[in-house]
């Protein structure tokens, strides 16, 4: 009886997986495990690499950038704004820390800005075979939405590249890397590549119970923070012990 039930559930699960298969492969771009979180909540999150760079390719490294909040692009309801992120977030800066993990990639490091704030991380020295999913763990600190602002959500846009072969920028093409970056005119836009202008994001929603919107805000506004081209050019490279290993100089 127990065996029969076990068989039934296995087959059901398998059929379900097969049904989902087609749509999931299209959706398995590199994304965050937890894409939405409430303000004031710290979470353990993961960059989820959903697939490698194509048939027979292996992801051997990955690089991640968070907007630094210094020269970042700020959008309000989709329109570019001259406001800085401080108008909408009380504690922007150094919100993200890599969680040490050598399960797939042997080497990793955080990227820091001139003030020592973590603005990204990289991993290398591993192999993610085709057909696998890999998680890169990090901690996302509790973001606080500025009480005097009308922000009802703040979407943090990341820049990520999954690398299957170390090349110079001139060698970027499908099969060599997957770029998951916002197209802001950096060297890492990946024009013409599969992941063009399809970045991973982390949306922080306002805690309306504890941080209510003022009446004048109406329904509030949706804010986005996006790394600038200058920041992506500076922070996307993998620099190991002072030496740039990707892209190849």
The contact set with Cu ion (CB under 5 A) reads 29
Residue 55 has a CB neighbour count (10 Å cut-off) of 7
In the complex, what is the shortest distance from the CB of residue 28 to Cu ion, in angstroms, rounded to a whole number? 5
In the complex, what is the shortest distance from the CB of residue 223 to Cu ion, in angstroms, rounded to a whole number? 27
Q: Please, which residue, 28 or 103, has the CB nearer to Cu ion?
A: 28
Q: Please, which residue, 49 or 60, has the CB nearer to Cu ion?
A: 49
Q: Which residues pair with 128 in a beta bridge?
A: 59
In the complex, what is the shortest distance from the CB of residue 198 to Cu ion, in angstroms, rounded to a whole number? 8
Encoded tokens for 39: 């303000």
Contact 118, 94 (CB under 8 A): yes
Residue 204 phi, psi (nearest 5): -105, 125
Q: Please, which residue, 51 or 98, has the CB nearer to Cu ion?
A: 51
In the complex, what is the shortest distance from the CB of residue 132 to Cu ion, in angstroms, rounded to a whole number? 14
Cα gap 180→196, rounded to integer Å: 7
Rg (CA), the chain: 20
**Closest alpha carbon to 159 in 61, 70, 233:** 233
Encoded tokens for 28: 């398995």
Cα gap 118→104, rounded to integer Å: 22
In the complex, what is the shortest distance from the CB of residue 51 to Cu ion, in angstroms, rounded to a whole number? 5
Encoded tokens for 150: 């009308």
Q: Nearest to Cu ion by Cβ — which residue? A: 29
Residue ranges in the chain assigned as alpha helix (H): 2-27, 229-235
Q: Please, which residue, 48 or 76, has the CB nearer to Cu ion?
A: 48
Q: Please, which residue, 28 or 106, has the CB nearer to Cu ion?
A: 28
Q: Please, which residue, 29 or 98, has the CB nearer to Cu ion?
A: 29
Encoded tokens for 227: 């790394």
Strand stretches in 59-167, DSSP E: 59-65, 73-76, 79-81, 96-98, 107-112, 118-128, 134-140, 151-157, 159-163
Q: Please, which residue, 29 or 111, has the CB nearer to Cu ion?
A: 29
In the complex, what is the shortest distance from the CB of residue 246 to Cu ion, in angstroms, rounded to a whole number? 20
Residue where the block lists tokens 């050019």: 233
Encoded tokens for 140: 């996302």
In the complex, what is the shortest distance from the CB of residue 29 to Cu ion, in angstroms, rounded to a whole number? 4
């Amino acid at each position: 009886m127990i065996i029969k039930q076990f068989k039934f559930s296995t087959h059901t699960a398998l059929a379900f997986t097969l049904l989902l298969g087609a749509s999931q492969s299209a959706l398995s771009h590199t994304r965050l495990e937890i894409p939405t979180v409430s303000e004031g909540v710290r979470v353990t999150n993961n960059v989820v690499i959903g697939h490698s760079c194509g048939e027979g390719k292996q992801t051997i490294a990955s690089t991640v950038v968070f907007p630094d909040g210094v020269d970042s692009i700020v959008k309000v309801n989709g329109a570019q704004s001259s406001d800085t992120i401080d108008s909408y977030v009380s504690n922007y800066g150094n919100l993200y820390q890599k969680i040490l993990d050598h399960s797939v990639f042997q080497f990793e490091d955080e990227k820091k800005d001139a003030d020592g704030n973590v603005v990204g991380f990289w991993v290398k020295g591993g192999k993610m075979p085709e057909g696998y999913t890999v998680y890169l763990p990090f901690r996302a600190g509790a973001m606080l939405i500025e009480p005097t602002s009308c922000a009802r959500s703040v979407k943090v846009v990341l820049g990520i590249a999954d690398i299957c072969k170390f090349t110079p920028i001139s060698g970027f093409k499908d099969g060599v890397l997957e770029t998951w970056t916002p197209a802001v005119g950096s060297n890492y836009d990946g024009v013409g590549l599969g992941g063009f202008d399809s970045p991973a994001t982390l949306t922080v929603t306002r805690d309306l119970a504890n941080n209510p919107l003022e009446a004048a805000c109406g329904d509030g506004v949706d804010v986005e923070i996006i790394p600038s081209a200058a920041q992506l050019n500076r922070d996307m490279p993998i620099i190991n012990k002072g030496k740039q290993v990707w892209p190849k100089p």
